[in-house]
Amino acid sequence: MPHPSREIFIFRHGETDWNREGRFQGHVDIPLNDHGRAQAEALAEKLSPHGLEAILSSDLSRARETAEIVARRTRIPVFTDVGLREAHLGGAQGLTVEEIKRVHGAEVLERWKSVAVSDADVRYPGGETGAEVIERVFASLEKFIATTSYLRFGVACHGGVIRRVMQNIIPQSDAEPQKRVLIPNGVVYKILWEAKTGWNVPSLEPLGSVHDTVGKSIHTVV
């Protein structure tokens, strides 16, 4: 039986060149740039007081390298899981916001970014829906909880994944959608898992100041 409670620090990878250019990455494996590596070092500093015992990471290199930089500072193991990848964005991958609007239309872009429950079924052509992303991400998290004894661990992943996780945990309806969470590169949120009550988010505010890790550059493109 898993321990009845876990503390989880879920964070977004550092900056990539495509983030800087405003291009949607999805499953395309774009590495960190030098600024992204510096953000990961700052993230390691921010997380070091919290006693992480391990990090579970997306297998995409931008998340995995971020995890490895944090892990070196704290001397903890890194595990990877393909289930934590960013959403597959199909025909939107590699495009900027303006290109997506031109090729696929503004409506699909707005619905993809929406926090409304009724928009969980939207997808770009050839891509995943938000509901599909949530299903695989929580399967990976719950498998890690069920098969390890780590009580406090990090999750290195992607902006779209964090946004969907927060949407899923916090009660909402179409009548009262939650506010949109901040997902710049290097952002980190604390979430909780309890055996009896399931998932909980103590706060919609990032852990510490967003500017502690991202400096003057805030990119929200996935």
> Pick the catalytic residue: 15, 86, 128, 158?
86
Contact 5, 152 (CB under 8 A): no
Q: Which contacts qualify for 37-41: CB closer than 8 Å, 24 or more apart?
A: 37/65, 37/69, 38/14, 39/14, 39/15, 39/66, 39/185, 39/186, 39/213, 39/214, 39/215, 40/13, 40/14, 40/65, 40/66, 40/69, 40/70, 40/186, 41/69, 41/73
Q: What is the pLDDT of residue 53?
A: 98
Local structure of 90: helix, strand or coil? helix
Active site residue 211: no
The number of CA neighbours under 13 Å toward the Cβ of 55 is 31
Tokens of 20: 């800087």
Q: What is the 3-state secondary structure (H, E, C) of 127-140?
A: CCCHHHHHHHHHHH
Q: What is the pLDDT of residue 92?
A: 97
Q: What is the pLDDT of residue 204?
A: 81
> Pick the catalytic residue: 7, 13, 15, 41?
13
- 10-residue averages of pLDDT along the chain (222 residues): 85 98 98 98 95 98 98 95 98 97 95 82 95 96 97 97 90 58 94 95 79 47 56
Local structure of 165: helix, strand or coil? helix
Active site residue 50: no
Map out the domains of the chain with their CATH numbers.
5-214 (3.40.50.1240)
Spatial distance between the Cα atoms of 153 and 134, rounded to a whole number of angstroms: 19
Q: What is the pLDDT of residue 219?
A: 44
**First vs last C-alpha separation in the chain:** 36
Cβ-based neighbours of 107, under 8 Å, separated by 6 or more? none
Give me the phi and psi of 29, to 5 degrees please.
-90, 85
Q: What is the pLDDT of residue 220?
A: 52
Q: Which amino acid is at 178?
A: Q
| Tokens 């959608």 belong to residue | 177
Q: What is the pLDDT of residue 161?
A: 96
Q: What is the pLDDT of residue 122?
A: 93
